[in-house]
Amino acid sequence: GAVVSQHPSRVICKSGTSVKIECRSLDFQATTMFWYRQFPKKSLMLMATSNEGSKATYEQGVEKDKFLINHASLTLSTLTVTSAHPEDSSFYICSARELGGLETQYFGPGTRLLVL
């Protein structure tokens, strides 16, 4: 149980284009999903917390107009990187917390984004 999927697993795009990443909880309902960014050999950096049916809460320094988050249902959250630039290239990981759960986060496999 507690499986989270992410799609796509890898994406290469041209500078200036937008990229959408999907995060789905497959066998549980997630009221809260988290979006992280991770650079090589670095810690997970929380970008935003996404609650179903409400606006996402962004961490300091994360541009909400650049990283659009939508959490339309209890099993799906999307992150759209708008007008992507090479510096947006990174490993993006989502996680989900079960409905009623307060502690453990279940992570997706991650999405490797490369902006040329």
Partner 1 sequence: SQKIEQNSEALNIQEGKTATLTCNYTNYSPAYLQWYRQDPGRGPVFLLLIRENEKEKRKERLKVTFDTTLKQSLFHITASQPADSATYLCALEGHYQLIWGAGTKLIIKP
- Contacts with partner 1 by CB under 8 A lie at 4, 6, 34, 41-44, 46, 49, 91, 93-95, 103-110, 112
- 116 and 14 Cβ atoms separated by less than 8 Å: yes
Smaller CB separation from partner 1, 77 or 95: 95
Q: Least CB distance from residue 4 to partner 1, whole Å? A: 8
- Residue located via tokens 């099993």: 75
Residues 3, 114, 67, 41, CA torsion sign? positive
Classify 53 in phi/psi space as left (phi over 0), alpha (psi -120 to 50) or beta.
left
Q: Least CB distance from residue 83 to partner 1, whole Å? A: 26
Q: Least CB distance from residue 80 to partner 1, whole Å? A: 19
C-alpha 52/C-alpha 73 separation (Å) is: 6
Smaller CB separation from partner 1, 82 or 107: 107
Q: Could you tell me what percentage of the chain is helix, strand and coil, using 3-state DSSP and rounding each to the nearest 5?
A: 5, 55, 45
Smaller CB separation from partner 1, 15 or 26: 26
Smaller CB separation from partner 1, 66 or 112: 112
Q: Least CB distance from residue 111 to partner 1, whole Å? A: 10
